[in-house]
Amino acid sequence: MSASPQAPSAQAQSAPAVPHKRIVVGVAGGIAAYKACTLVRYFTEAGHHVRVVPTESALEFVGKATFEALSGNPVHTGVFSDVPQVPHVRLGQDADLVVVAPATADLMARAVSGRADDLLTATLLTARCPVVFAPAMHTEMWEHPATVANVATLRSRGTIVLEPASGRLTGKDTGAGRLPDPDEIGLLATLLLERADAMPRDLEGVRVLVSAGGTREPLDPVRFLGNRSSGKQGYALARLAAQRGADVVLVSGYTTGLAEPAGVDVVHVKTAEDMQSAVTKHAPQCDAIVMAAAVADFRPTTTVASKIKKGSGEPDSVALTKNPDILAGIVESRRAGRIPASSVVVGFAAETGDAQGDVLTYARAKLERKGCDLLVVNAVGEGKAFEVDHNDGWLLAADGSESALEHGSKSLMASRVLDAVARLVHSGRE
């Protein structure tokens, strides 16, 4: 970490996070193949050049014409089509990213044994860029020792094998093995274009609590005091922590309708007091507590049971009561021994500067006051941080070190924060 971080420049703030890239979308033969259409759309709408490479059996589920129309490029499955262009080596060599979604048990087994008997497996052998597998299969297949060993082998070779989601599978059965939401695969895959080493499995066995979103404090049955938090930064942290191997509990307030991240236990809460109960319940079992939620500082002193009428006169003023500071409570619990002394506590600060001090001056004072180990600082206002997809700021640590968090996606910021969390968790375990 550098001693005096530089504020990210205005130019960097307006630059696109990822220049357009060449992406190969591999599609294996599972029912979730239809979701690959949405993923192809995700990449083409971001301006990337996409080549779809299905297996023969994938075409049993989705027609070749669909993939050609969505990608705007020809689609082949075998190594003997378009031979003068040598696509079986070119596609992999030229790719900036390969994403296989869905990756079936069979496709992973073939990748492990280095087969090259169709265009997709040949492409996998020649690719030197980040390769992401998004598995989708029945729970029994996902948990079978053969698949478990194949996933471990692929990961040991540097392939990113995403954690599947849990939920409804084909037919009436439910369990782990569902393809993550295509937007989620898109977000995670695009992160690798920003930072190829953003998804190490360095949080295996680490229990992480993340709070996210905004709380709502009811005034009457239809009105509340809320805030502009979208939940995107907290969800990015929870999603990525799970993909880095952590067991994650996400305590979520209100968001802009974000889907639950794959492999994460989500506890939905409404008010600051609900959030405090959920955080207090789960924190003692966690190694890291990351408080990204925008918690209302005040709530209406009374919640009226029936809707407040407009009436004809001036409106009544609203009396407010201070909400608990959940983060300060966690730090106090750690001091008092109610949660392990080794747990790592991370706070967030959305700051603006004024005549009395700049953003960093206020942030340093907040780190001191809150007593957490790390403070993620965002400069807010002028369309920054809230509701948008990109972010930048600073990471301040209790040991006095400070580093700039460069402009990029909220996933990129999450990856930098999790690097620091992983370092602190592992240093506490030594």
So which residues are the catalytic ones?
Answer: 227
* CA atoms of 242 and 202, how far apart (whole Å): 10
Give the binding-site size for ligand C5P (rule: CB under 6 A). 13
Contact 142, 176 (CB under 8 A): yes
- Token look-up 């003023």 returns 317
273 touches ligand C5P by CB under 6 A = no
For 247, other C-beta atoms within 10 Å of its C-beta total 19
Stretch in the footprint of ligand C5P (CB under 6 A) among 13-21, 143-151, 289-297, 400-408? 289-297
291 touches ligand C5P by CB under 6 A = yes
Residues 171-210 that bind ligand C5P (CB under 6 A): none
Q: Which of 188, 209, 272, 331 binds ligand C5P (CB under 6 A)?
A: 272
Residues 386-425 that bind ligand C5P (CB under 6 A): none
274 touches ligand C5P by CB under 6 A = no
Residues, the chain: 430
Residues 349-388 that bind ligand C5P (CB under 6 A): 349
For 89, other C-beta atoms within 10 Å of its C-beta total 15
253 touches ligand C5P by CB under 6 A = no
131 touches ligand C5P by CB under 6 A = no
Task: Return the SS3 of 380.
Answer: coil
For ligand C5P, the closer CB: 108 or 326: 326
Q: For residue 183, give the nearest of 236, 137, 219 by alpha carbon.
A: 236
Stretch in the footprint of ligand C5P (CB under 6 A) among 281-289, 310-318, 341-349, 397-405? 341-349
Residues 297-316 that bind ligand C5P (CB under 6 A): 297
Residue 91 parent element (H or E) = helix 87-94
Contact 144, 135 (CB under 8 A): no
217 touches ligand C5P by CB under 6 A = no
- Residue 131's alpha-carbon distances to 102, 160, 249, 292, 389, in angstroms, are 13, 6, 27, 30, 24
Q: Which residues bind ligand C5P (CB under 6 A)?
A: 211, 272, 291, 293, 295, 297, 323, 325-327, 347-349
